[in-house]
Chains A and B, each alone.
Chain A
């Protein structure tokens, strides 16, 4: 049986997409969600096996299931603490995050939250440092430290990802492990049109970086489930304190994201006027254009 997907953008269709945190999925139970306008079900087995399939009547949400024995599955995988699937065929390998394997790190899903915004708009906000002092006042920024200093952006052809380096910003409270304000180094990666990975100075080890990733699950072109992965160095705080910190920040971004207009990201360079600090966003828009992404964006006129 072949099913015609609702999403007709082959680039987006053929990607791995996150569905839910493994840690928040009850073992052996059918769970439902939405991906690219389609009902999708998933389950996690007691051995960590994951399964995903287009929702169907014989496996309603809440029913008990053996994740290994489901017929007509979609491709699926467990990575970085989440269940991933695709509605297309055989996507390339999921991007690497080597730090995830380091044993002394805390690996958490800070939260999965519904946001009324397109995935590319959310990625672009994640890349933006200019809003820190105004939206995350006294946490990720504070006046008068408002300048976004010059940083470097490249589109790596080899890895097919955007890399922004040499980013530096004064942060009163960079993480739960912070004891004072500090100039914090940032590296941003965009290795997937709807996912970004951020590396920032660890307050507890000046040679290592905390990793914070945002994995966006497109429910449709203007609604996402945002999965926030943390992979940080912090020996002191309980999980819930680390989650609370990240949720506070995301909760501050949420109304900004939801008030963006138009909700889809315009890729025409003339549509919106950037400033120098938006260099990484300019690269991101160009990268999406080059890939031919049409879902969640307003493509540039040909």
Chain B
């Protein structure tokens, strides 16, 4: 059985939970107290991953770190349809790798801003936000041109790939780092499509697709001049 070393509020761990859910795989979770306990810097965890980062998986004695690497491994090993990481399509594999690296850039910017705002990480949040907006602009244009060509996903395929999974979490959580998606309509439409992939699951801070108007949180009941929260756009 696969074991995932996991922190609930981590977008990188969420990437793995998403793919495991979409592949319908059973797995065991070992919670790691990332905050406030900093358990990812503890001796036992550093023996598992000397970088002191989440997520890590263990699968029948095989230990692997790095969210993007884990996505590659899980899709290659367990996706029987072979669509999430199509090993027989060199161009598509190249594209996927390109966007996996891009996802790491989103982590370095949008996720950093969120860590600053929510968990008080000492870093330059304005620089992180500016970096995230630069990447979001590029992603938004890429998705917009894709839509014009009838493409719904990040890579040139008729189905989602692990590149979509890798880019999604820190895009959808960006507002927690003060990064609005208001100016990125193609990103917002793509997020909605990701939420409709069979097996999609939420994490804290991420809402399911298509709940508009059904849920009435207190502020929506109260507020007379209604403002559309970012996650509903």
Contact = CB atoms under 8 A, between A and B. Distances in A.
B179 to A, nearest CB: 12
B62 interface: no
B216 A272 contact: no
Interface stretch (A68-76, A182-190, A248-256): A248-256
A120 to B, nearest CB: 12
Interface in B182-233: 203-205, 207, 211, 214-219, 221-225, 227, 229-231
A226 B32 CA distance: 21
Given A125-B219, A254-B118, A273 B205 contact: no
Contacts of A234: none
A273 B226 CA distance: 12
Contact of B223 (A111, A250, A272): A272
B231 A255 contact: yes
Given A113-B119, A247-B8, A271-B224, A252 B204 contact: yes
B204 A240 contact: no
Contact of A134 (B119, B204, B217, B224): B217
A177 B134 CA distance: 45
Nearest to B114: A114
A131 interface: yes
Interface string A114-141: 1110000100110010110011000000
Contacts, number: 111
A278 B31 contact: no
A179 interface: no
Given A278-B218, A278-B221, A116 B36 contact: no
Nearest to B117: A114
Q: Give the contact-size bracket for chain A.
A: 35 or more
Interface stretch (A84-92, A152-160, A257-265, A290-298): A257-265
A130, A254, A271: which has the most chain B beta carbons within 10 Å?
A: A254
Contacts of A275: 221
A271 B219 CA distance: 12
B226 to A, nearest CB: 8
A274 interface: yes
A273 B215 CA distance: 17
Interface string A221-253: 000010000000000000111011001111110
B120 interface: yes
A247 B9 contact: yes
B79 interface: no
B33 interface: yes
Contacts of B36: 21, 24, 109, 111-112, 243
B232 to A, nearest CB: 8
A198 interface: no
A281 interface: yes
B215 A134 contact: yes
A126 B37 CA distance: 24
Please indicate which of the listed interface residues B9, B120, B217, B224 has the most CB atoms of chain A within 10 Å of its own CB: B217
A268 B219 CA distance: 15
Nearest to A285: B222
Interface string A266-282: 00000111110010010
B37 A135 contact: no
Contacts of B215: 131, 134-135
B66 interface: no
B58 interface: no
Contacts of A124: 218
B147 interface: no
Given A112-B120, A239-B37, 13 more contacts: A24-B36, A113-B118, A114-B117, A128-B218, A134-B217, A225-B120, A244-B8, A250-B204, A259-B219, A260-B219, A261-B223, A272-B223, A278-B221
29 contacts: A112-B36, A112-B120, A114-B120, A116-B117, A116-B178, A125-B217, A130-B216, A130-B218, A130-B221, A131-B215, A131-B216, A134-B217, A240-B37, A240-B39, A247-B9, A248-B204, A249-B204, A251-B204, A255-B205, A256-B229, A258-B176, A259-B219, A259-B230, A261-B225, A271-B224, A272-B223, A278-B218, A278-B222, A281-B222
- The 7 A-B pairs of least Cβ separation, nearest first, read A251-B204, A259-B229, A261-B227, A272-B222, A240-B33, A134-B215, A128-B218
Interface of A: 21, 24, 109, 111-116, 121, 124-125, 128, 130-131, 134-135, 225, 239-241, 243-244, 247-252, 254-256, 258-261, 271-275, 278, 281
